[in-house]
Structure 1
Amino acid sequence: MRAKLLEDDVAPTEDRRALLDLMRLWREDAMKHHLYETAIFWGDKVLSLETSAQAWTDAYHLATAFFLTHRYAQAEHLLCSPLRNAAEEDEEEDDGVKLIDISSPARYLAAQCMVRQAKYHDALDLLNSERLEEEKYGPKVPCKDGGIKLASSKWHLRGLIQLRLGKQAEAQQSFVRALSLDVKNYEAFDQLVGGQLLSAREQWEFVQGLEYVAQAGDDGLHQEALQLVKFMYTTRLDKSGRVHAQQAAAARRQLYRLYRLDNNADVLLGLAEELFARQRYKDCHAVTLRIMDLSKDHEAALTVHVSTMVYLDDLRPTLFLLAHHLTDRDSDLAAAWYAVGCWYMASGRYSEARRYFSKAVSLNPRYAASWVAFAHCFANEGESDRAIVAYTTAERMFTQSHLPKLFIGMEHLHQGNLVLAETSLKGSALVWEDDALGRNERGVVAYYKGEYQEAINLFEAALEAADDVQMPASSWAPTHLNLGFAYRRSERYEKARRAFMKTMELDPECGPAHTGLAMIYHREGYLDEAVAWYEKVSSSSSLYL
């Protein structure tokens, strides 16, 4: 009967409805089975046969299938062209009605298609055309269906476009708005925190101040779910300083205790980041290995996983094999080429390393680790001028990170440019004043300027900050040494002697510490002791600048 109706092209309304519903079922099942070509084939037939308003929904489904198969131009054309078979019979406009004229999700999908085709300004214009309409759902209003607000997703897309256009400040505000509207929008969170668009202090103030309770509404399940979201985000925030590290650890314990997420890769990533910041590289590597076991080649953890291997010499062969595996698996993955660059850098082959770091940032311009590593290669080769240029580029890309400014200051200090070094180091301190390395470098500047008491204060503050983040004590032998020389210049010989002895306790072969002690004994008139320490200088090998 159905074949006869198709031949005669005069199917009763009920049979045509049944036929279309059956083909829609085929389309939906094909989508579920990832048979996208099949979904497109039957979706196109449904759209051609449908003459009611249901054609708008069918067109959207077909455009979604085009988008998922990377046919962005086709999807955009379908969304932005008149759909005549769904138009009213009395439609007087020549152009007909377009799906983007009547559907907010369609406008969002069309903008996504435009972004994929690098039509950034067109996409931004389309998103901005309905900004007033979407503002009715504010940060304190729960999503009606409990999902993620479309307005939040649109603000996230605006931010991505603005980043591509080099408008970093505007992008930051868009991501802030996206996460404020809906705290469940993890990608907005990741851009702000993982993309270093917020400083450490701004991260904590903003994320802890989000409207978790208001967006959960009166529903107990939603309240518990958003409490989980807050714990998850807290574990990923910057852990500089004791207070922040303790808060992040407390959030992890809650996730372990309440939700049994002790084996979740993203929760463990927060722990790995904390261990890496404390320079506990072996412990960090053990955690990242566990992450890789739980989630093969976990992309967010790869950067930390690779970076730990640079500091652990016995893992150099493992790093080599990992780099090969990653590039073979996905040559478009920025972390893969970062791993290759790290292997060359760890091997002292800085020219080759820079080539691969450059490839990583060409694939992901917001890859902070690769930008900084690229500049490190110049610094390790002693090419301070080129290192400063590279660090300056990283500073422009990541204005809320204190590290590029810190490294610029260190290079100026290495060149003896005290004024420029002080300017950069103060800029770094404005972003994160409690950084131990930054305090040490500012102390060196004060020492060379003859401001010995200020240098002493900064060196002591650096050691206090190092204790707060529980870094290995041996990492701070140079700061103890600097403190000893500052005390010696201030003629506080007993304190200087203790500082030099502490330095040698951490690094027995430190020649400058031996020299400092010899100079103190010489100054005090104990010539035999001074000669004995001077003689030890020639046999020591560790030198600090």
Structure 2
Amino acid sequence: MEAYLRSWMTDALAQHQYDSAIYVGDKLLAITNSDEDAFTLARAHFDAGHYSRALACLSRADLLYRSAAAKYLAAHCQVKQNRHEDALALLGDKNPTHLAAATGSARRKLQHLHTNGAQTATHSGGPGGKGKSASRGASGNGAGRARADRSEERDLDRRAELQYEAGMCYLRGQCYARQNAFDRAKECYKDAVRINVQCFEAFDQLMKNSLMSPGEEWDFVDSLDFESVRLDSSAVDGGRQSAHEAADFTRNLYLTRLSKYARPDEFRTAIETLSTHYRLANNPDILLSKANLLATTAQHEPALALTTAILDQDPSNFACLPLHLALLYELNHPTALFALAHNLADSHPAEPATWLAVGTYYLLTARIPEARSYFSKASLMDPHFGPAWIGFAHTFAAEGESDQAIAAYSTAARLFQGTHLPQLFLGMQELALDNLAIAREYLTTAYQLCDRDPLLINEIGVCCYKETDYDSAIRHFALALSIAADNDAPASQTVDTRLNLAHALRRAERLPEALEQYDEAIRLGARTCSVFTSKGLVLLELEQPFEATVTLHEGLAISPQDPLASELLAKALALMEGVGVLAGAEEAAVDEELRGKLRGIRKRGVGRRRRGRGSEDVGGDGMELDGASRS
């Protein structure tokens, strides 16, 4: 009867018929009163969302402190009910860090046992085994295999226990994160992955919440023992090659989640390997990694094409939405933003990303109060949703409300301790307020987190410019342009940095270089009155008043009332008084040519007057308008 009930319960769970599974499991537990059946029933309650009943089932069976699996499930039930203090009381506040190296040794021991077993079987059955010695070999090998099987079983139990310990580290991190103890949460997540490198939930929390700097992320992945990945017996029997391939595959998957600012070549290699060798080129996660890399290098159009392809495959891919929304905002696509936000509001009103999309649309259309309201709603639904906090801060920055913007950016910086963006935005706000010392502190902190972001290096250059350290500003602007070129960023994305470089060169009195940068910026599309005015000022300082006049006229054609351009044009015209446009022999030749043409005109005029006097008998009606008589 027990076997029949277990089979019934297993079938019900496989078909997600949880009420049936719970009904049958309750009868099975009453008959057997076994720990295994009590745990299975508790799992059925958990899958059905009956967290209190699952916890009560485990407590009645007294499993909480006798089984790592039961302890993990009980803590998970408490986390699901937001009882984080109770979960921590059950889990304890210490991670079993001594287990971090145990997984690799267990896997290697297991692989050694399988390999030796295969070799022993080959030796006993091979040629040369005869008579009594062959019989003794068979008997000895049988005993050896039995010992190996028992050892393998113990190692498998040990591995399962390690996996549950890793899971409990992950739950401990969840509890600390809900209490805003992000440093402790980060260590818990890291220990979970160290104990079980396949604990992707913990790794995902580290990456998704940017709990580590780009350099820390790569150092952490380099420290992981990917050779400890778990393989079943058939894979291990195939030899070390399959285990090594699984380790490389897992490592490449993890590399695609790391920061794109550090070691981009390794990142691209991992993407290429997964795309070609394992046919994952169109996998949404791989496409999202490619889109993140393109967005990092300011290649927004191709990045948007990839995020659009992801959402075409899976419209509910919420991991992709923050990047997709940022790209639509950057490329000024209000219609697409409106349609997406409208669809999400209809289909997923309980998701914070839905209201992030609505807020982004209102921010793009300059309806700041509405945008702030929806960003606030998203942050209230998930207080740890960083993009909502950044959008909320952007609404204050757009209205010049620096104090509120700084407060919101500070919250984002606390939530996203491993990303440089909140620190960068804080530095930009302080620069706008001319608080240069505080701005430099924020920008330096951001630079320590990421030293390859052209926008950040540009802002450091702006800070140096405001401090009148023009040589340092020039170096930073040139470095930003160099990094953007290395990243294959479109030249149009570097116009502002190029203009900043031109201004710094002008202030440093490196006028020919400044003029070259102004010309390049104008060629790239920076055709504003202020740019032409700055170029005209450089030309005046280079004593080229005629070229300055032409340039300033172009600026005034764009903004006729600009006072600075008008003043500089007046100075340029004053400098040109009495000065010929052409120099030397060319100007004399032009003057002589003009005088010759003037004499010819006068002679033709005299001839016409003479002909007019000879035909005075013809009346006025016989004259054309130009004075010539009709034929």
Normalized against structure 2, the TM-score is what?
Answer: 0.76
Task: State the match for 1:195 in structure 2.
Answer: 209
Task: State the match for 2:340 in structure 1.
Answer: 322
1:325 deviates by 2.2
Q: Cα deviations across residues 319-373 of structure 1 (Å, max 9, x unaligned)?
A: 2222222233232222222111111112211221122222222233332222211
Identity across the alignment (%): 34
Q: How many residues align?
A: 504
Q: Cα deviations across residues 440-468 of structure 1 (Å, max 9, x unaligned)?
A: 11111111111111111111111111112
> In 1, are the aligned partners of 2:95 and 2:169 still within 8 Å (CA)?
no
> In 2, are the aligned partners of 1:263 and 1:294 still within 8 Å (CA)?
no
Task: State the match for 2:141 in structure 1.
Answer: none
Which residue identity does 1:395 align to in structure 2?
Answer: A
Provide the rounded CA distance (Å) in 2 between the counterparts of 1:418 and 1:536. Answer: 35
**Alignment of structure 1 residues 305-344 onto 2, 5 Å:** 305-313=324-332, 315-344=333-362
Task: State the match for 1:9 in structure 2.
Answer: none
Task: State the match for 2:419 in structure 1.
Answer: 401
Task: State the match for 1:39 in structure 2.
Answer: 21
2:2 is the counterpart of 1:20: yes
Structure 1's 166 and 49: CA in aligned 2 closer, same or farther, altered over 3 A?
Answer: same
Provide the rounded CA distance (Å) in 2 between the counterparts of 1:31 and 1:252. Answer: 37
2:463 is the counterpart of 1:463: no
Structure 1's 294 and 452: CA in aligned 2 closer, same or farther, altered over 3 A?
Answer: same
Provide the rounded CA distance (Å) in 2 between the counterparts of 1:129 and 1:254. Answer: 40
1:413 deviates by 1.0
1:132 deviates by 5.2
Task: State the match for 1:239 in structure 2.
Answer: 260
Which residue identity does 1:59 align to in structure 2?
Answer: A
Provide the rounded CA distance (Å) in 2 between the counterparts of 1:422 and 1:130. Answer: 38
> In 2, are the aligned partners of 1:459 and 1:482 still within 8 Å (CA)?
yes
Provide the rounded CA distance (Å) in 1 between the counterparts of 2:214 and 2:13. Answer: 42
What is the DSSP-based 3-state SS (H/G/I as helix, E as strand, rest coil) of the residue aligned with 1:446? helix
Task: State the match for 1:209 in structure 2.
Answer: 223
Provide the rounded CA distance (Å) in 2 between the counterparts of 1:132 and 1:303. Answer: 35
2:124 is the counterpart of 1:103: no
Provide the rounded CA distance (Å) in 2 between the counterparts of 1:254 and 1:427. Answer: 35
Cα RMSD of the aligned pairs, angstroms, is 2.3
2:482 is the counterpart of 1:482: no
Q: Cα deviations across residues 437-494 of structure 1 (Å, max 9, x unaligned)?
A: 1111111111111111111111111111111222221121111111111111111111
Provide the rounded CA distance (Å) in 2 between the counterparts of 1:511 and 1:469. Answer: 30
Provide the rounded CA distance (Å) in 2 between the counterparts of 1:137 and 1:525. Answer: 73
Structure 1's 307 and 132: CA in aligned 2 closer, same or farther, altered over 3 A?
Answer: closer
**Alignment of structure 1 residues 237-386 onto 2, 5 Å:** 237-240=258-261, 244-313=263-332, 315-386=333-404
Task: State the match for 2:58 in structure 1.
Answer: 79
> In 2, are the aligned partners of 1:444 and 1:455 still within 8 Å (CA)?
yes
Task: State the match for 1:229 in structure 2.
Answer: 250
- One of 516, 531, 542 as aligned partner of 2:549: 531
Task: State the match for 1:11 in structure 2.
Answer: none
> In 1, are the aligned partners of 2:495 and 2:526 still within 8 Å (CA)?
no
Task: State the match for 2:172 in structure 1.
Answer: 158
> In 2, are the aligned partners of 1:43 and 1:62 still within 8 Å (CA)?
yes
Provide the rounded CA distance (Å) in 2 between the counterparts of 1:38 and 1:134. Answer: 42
Provide the rounded CA distance (Å) in 1 between the counterparts of 2:451 and 2:65. Answer: 51
> In 1, are the aligned partners of 2:38 and 2:57 still within 8 Å (CA)?
yes
Task: State the match for 2:85 in structure 1.
Answer: 121
> In 2, are the aligned partners of 1:484 and 1:516 still within 8 Å (CA)?
no
Which residue identity does 2:247 align to in structure 1?
Answer: L
1:387 deviates by 1.0
Normalized against structure 1, the TM-score is what?
Answer: 0.87
1:131 deviates by 5.4
Which residue identity does 2:59 align to in structure 1?
Answer: C
Provide the rounded CA distance (Å) in 2 between the counterparts of 1:131 and 1:183. Answer: 15
1:434 deviates by 2.4
